[in-house]
Structure 1
């Protein structure tokens, strides 16, 4: 049976995702925890399945138009998938207690603040990385492979633990590592394609632990699909700088709320 409160949460996040492209999805788990009252581990596990399904749809579109950089995707997955499996193994050993919830809430709070900073600083990070690559191009290229695998590993841990990080934070890492290679379309496509298997593996891990509520997931999807459509239509009518600034402010405030309680 559809829970319309949960569907409204999906609608809100769908709107944010449609308007912002990346970053808005970071608010799904916090909304479920703070506004709907879902237990943190269940919010994260269910959000990972939500992300896997919605990003699969986006990934099919980007694959069809040939936008993702498959070399970069493979490098990221070399780090992120093993990291996700290791994180699930560690989570499964932790008792389902207040400690586990506190760990997730703290990690989620810190990550939302980092995502807010990344959302505001993306252009400056791109310019800095581009100038650095021009000065030390050969050395920079030698370091791209190990640094990309490391970035994937970090994202694997963060996404599996909190369900956040595959969007705005992942995109910022790619901009820093590949400032010359990543056009806007290629950046979004690469980020989404990498997120599909990562969120699927993390989601399966949380399902194995018992952290997924499929009734909640269905209600979220009912709301998110029209939300993404409406948000996408609105995005062309809103100034990008204003959207990013408002999103960063909301992410920062929610992150601080999760940290201070």
Structure 2
């Protein structure tokens, strides 16, 4: 199982390096469907996997000034309390939620939404960028509050399923800030915000007992060279091909978890 989990980490890391998404979206389902890991343990292990790998990526984005810290703060105002509340709920009802299939169903829904969002992020951004008149004024006025609400939604989803950063997070940010965020600052802001959410969520899951440390080590052993390789492949692979392929995989896995 060690070499298989290392291989899984390598494949997921490569996909993350190429597309910037797919880490939590693919790792948790792989652990549940391929390795038979309990859903709560898969989520807890994946949160640590995401926190450690995104710390490295977040440091690079910070040095390159690719993160909008005002937006990160607004997201954290919503996400961090949501993380705490979700962890408290899991501590109180986690066994019942796992046995009743709530975690798996929520994970499946999140994957389907991610699959829908991934290939259409550009179109969504252009649609909101064309907003003018009263609609644009309303969006600008409610932008801070909507960002906090988006953070709360992401914090809950990430803690419960380890999915939410990446495709969903980037799509929400594109809808809220179609002009303010360039492509690089979009990715950097999304990654930097995901670090404290994944870290606090991972600590909470570890305290509950939802973590497999040997498995985590095997995954990281493969993911680190995978991320490096994926980053190098970005210049050779077209996003027009990669994004739909990733969306199809997410859709298939999401439907499989829901059935």
Q: Give the TM bin, normalised by the shorter chain.
A: over 0.9
Residue 138 of structure 1 is matched in structure 2 by 137
Equivalent residue for 2:44? 45
Aligned positions, number: 259
Contact in 1 for aligned 2:97/2:103 (Cα 8 Å): no
Q: Pairwise mapping of residues 98-109 of structure 1 onto structure 2 (< 5 A)?
A: 99-100=98-99, 102-109=101-108
Residue 65 of structure 1: how far off its partner (Å): 0.9
Unaligned runs of 5+ in 2: none
By how many angstroms is 1:67 displaced?
Answer: 1.1
The question of 1:233 aligning with 2:232 is answered yes
1:68 aligns with 2:67: yes
Matches within 5 A, 1:199-238: 199-238=198-237
Alpha-carbon spacing, 1:224–1:131, altered in 2? closer, same or farther (3 Å): same
1:99 is displaced (CA, Å) by 4.2
Q: Given the two structures, how large is their TM-score scaled by the length of structure 2?
A: 0.96
Alignment of 1:136-215 (within 5 A): 136-215=135-214
CA distance in 2, matches of 1:190, 1:246: 25
Alpha-carbon distance between aligned partners in 2 of 1:142 and 1:5, rounded to the nearest angstrom: 50
2:248 matches 1:249: yes
TM-score (norm 1): 0.95
State the shift of 1:214 in Å.
1.0
Paired residue for 2:8?
9
Structure 1 ranges of 4+ moved more than 3 A: 97-101, 133-137
**Is residue 39–residue 98 contact of structure 2 (8 Å, CA) maintained in 1?**
no
Q: Deviations over 1:233-259 (max 9, x none)?
A: 222111111100000000000000000
CA deviations 1:175-231 (Å, max 9, x no partner) are 000001010010000000000001011111101111011111111000101111112
Q: Which moved more, 1:3-12 or 1:173-182?
A: 3-12
Structure 1 distance, partners of 2:157, 2:242, is: 25
* 8 Å contact from structure 2 (residues 74, 144) kept in 1: yes
SS of the residue corresponding to residue 51 of structure 1 reads: helix
Which structure 1 residue ranges, 5 or more long, are not aligned?
Answer: none
